Every structure is written in C-alpha cells, then in structure tokens.
Amino acid sequence: MTDIAARAGVSVGTVYHHFPSYADAIVACGAYTAEHAPAPTTDLLEGAASRNERVTRLVRALFDYYERVPALESVRRDRHLTPELDAFAREEVRNRRKLAAQAVGPGGPVALVAALSDIDVYRSLRREGFGTADAADRVAALLNHVLDAAPGVSRRTVKE
C-alpha cells in the first residue's frame, strides 16, 4: 500500500480509505486494467478468411496485449500470494485457450497455439531484440507452417 500511495502522491491512509485491504486494491487495479487495456476477445477473429488469418490475428492481438499490460508477468509470478491474483491469472489462461480453439477450429492443436502465443514466448522474443509486431508475425508464421503440415488440421474458415 505504501508503493500505491507513493505512486499516487497521497498518504497511505488515503489508500486504505479507498481500498481497505490489499485484495480490494488488486481487484480495483484489475478492473482498471480491464477497462483501459481489455484482453482480446473472439471479435478479433470475425471475418477472417482462413485459419491462417485467424492464427495471425490471434498472435498479433495477444502480443499487443502483453505489450500494453506488462503487469501480467507480475500477476502470473505472484499468483500464489492472493486468490485475486490467481483468479486473474487463471482467466488469462482460459481466455487464451478459448481464443486458440476458435483460431485453429475443431480438432486443431489448441495447446500448441496457446503455448506459443503465451507471454513467456513473447517476452523471450523481445529480450532477443524482436519488436512486438515482428515477434507476432514470426510466431504466427511458424504456427501456420506447422498447422499447414499437420495431418487433419483444416485451413477452412470457421463458418464453412
């Protein structure tokens, strides 16, 4: 709470007045983040002409989200500290897997797409000097290459 007070330029008492507990502060920060930097939704896949386009859109949207919400790493690292952080981290994983399933379509390798579009992959590529857009495009190209070669994985649109 002292860090929050210092960053806000207010007293610790003021912080406790608005957020009686650390959990309240976490929930408020999560709500603020969700409002100002919302996680990608399935809307990003609408109108995509192919599985390749859906996968590309997905990876770009997730990597952009990771760039806009760097605190996600801290949430994942510290998730064991509070139920609120754990719930936020679980929701991020659930959403990424849901998006991956929508992107690859029925019978597709959801776990592979979810894993390679994870923030840890993104951060590793950034540390190696890749920009956000370049990292997203390379991962999407890699995934699409693997998916194109996989037997039984459709390239069709979801609506076909």
Tens-place pLDDT, residues 96-140: 999 999 999 988 899 999 999 999 999 999 999 999 999 999 999
105: left (phi over 0), alpha (psi -120 to 50) or beta: left
* Average pLDDT, integer, range 43-54: 96
pLDDT tens digits, one per residue of 73-95 = 988 999 999 998 999 999 999 99
- The pLDDT confidence band at residue 157, using thresholds 50, 70 and 90, is very low
The pTM for the full model equals 0.83
Question: pLDDT at residue 155 above 70?
Answer: no
Question: pLDDT at residue 153 above 60?
Answer: no
> Using CA atoms, how far apart are residues 103 and 57, in angstroms rounded to an integer?
9
Question: pLDDT at residue 68 above 50?
Answer: yes
Q: How far apart are the first and last CA of the chain?
A: 53
> Using CA atoms, how far apart are residues 128 and 142, in angstroms rounded to an integer?
17
- The pLDDT confidence band at residue 48, using thresholds 50, 70 and 90, is very high
Percentage, residues of the chain above pLDDT 90: 62
